[in-house]
Amino acid sequence: MAATNGTSKAGKSRAAKKNKVEVVKKSQAVYQRILLKLSGESFQGPQGFGIHGDTIREIAREVKEVHDLGVEVAIMVGGGNIFRGARQKGFEIDRATGDYMGMLATCINALALQDSLEKAGVFTRVLSAINMQQISEPFIRRRAVRHLEKGRVVVFGGGTGNPYFSTDTAAALRAMEIKADVILKGTKVDGIYDADPMLNPGASRFDRISYLQVLEQRLNVMDATAISLCMDNRLPIVVFNLQTPGNIKRAINGEAIGSLVTV
């Protein structure tokens, strides 16, 4: 009996220490549960198409760095590096059909990211809005939340599962469903500008901007449906340069990088 009590006390002690470590880790981050939005283009790297190995491994490394802090990470991926839906150049196709093809492209990216994350030592689950039971789990809100609570990274594929809705809108929808604290949108530039900084060197960057200003000025941040959904639910959006190493970690720690979209 004494040995049993000793073992029990030791187990409780270890559990207490573990909980203490988790609390310390979580206290370092401003956001405890995030939805990271990655466009398909963020996977293509310098080659300009498809999936670039070094690029996706670097993304996985940065996600792992954030995950190791105790932050719960969900990721919505796009598919533009593989197929751009009805916007595919030189290929006339029905809008709904093109959108479904684009959803399949997001699932390819989701599986590639899952593989890179797990090779980096991060347990990852792919949840798809389109039922493909051989390669992913179906999206079920409570299941997604439970995976996050267990310390797994969740990658969402298939967009919303419906045509006519972008992966930006899907990101906003999933963020609401899992009760994320923020949407982090990784881009090629360091925030939101009043004009395209690639074409206009004199463009001004917004450090902070309201949802209504984004809609009224038709700024190219996320589509209007996604912005409106975030506005209705007061979900902040941080737009930052994904290509700068360490930026995801800086964003979740509340550093002033990129642009903040809020009320």
Convert the pLDDT of each residue in 182-213 to its tens digit. Answer: 999 999 899 999 988 888 888 999 999 999 99
pLDDT per position as a tens digit, 215-245:
999 998 899 999 999 999 999 999 999 999 9
Q: Which residues contact 192 (CB under 8 A, 6 or more apart)?
A: 205, 206, 209, 214, 219, 221, 239, 258, 259, 261
User: What number is the average pLDDT over the span 26-55?
Assistant: 90
For residue 28, give Cα distances in angstroms to 15, 67, 69, 192, 247.
21, 12, 7, 26, 15
The answer to whether residue 173 scores a pLDDT higher than 60 is yes
Mutual orientation of helices 224-232 and 167-177 as an angle, nearest 10°?
20
Higher pLDDT, 17 or 74: 74
Q: In angstroms, rounded to a whole number, what is the distance separating the alpha carbons of residues 131 and 158?
A: 9
How confident is the model at residue 86, as a pLDDT? 61
Range name among 82-96, 101-115, 196-210 with the lowest pLDDT average: 82-96
The pLDDT value recorded for residue 137 is 97
Q: What is the mean pLDDT of the chain?
A: 89
Sign of the Cα pseudo-torsion (127, 131, 137, 142, in order)? positive
- What token pair was written down for 171? 């990101």
Compute the average pLDDT of residues 106-123.
Answer: 97
Q: Is the pLDDT of residue 24 over 50?
A: no
Q: Give the Å distances, CA to CA, from 43 to 50, 237, 248.
A: 7, 21, 16
Residue 249 pLDDT grade (very low, low, confident, very high; cuts 50, 70, 90) = very high
pLDDT digits (tens, 9 = 90+) for 141-160: 999 999 999 999 999 999 99
Above pLDDT 70, what percent of the chain? Answer: 87
Tell me: pLDDT of 46 over 80.
Answer: yes
* pLDDT attached to residue 85: 66
Residue 178: strand, helix, or coil? coil
Report, as an integer, the average pLDDT of 234-258.
94
Query: What phi, psi does 49 have (nearest 5°)?
Result: -165, 165
What pLDDT is recorded for position 87? 66
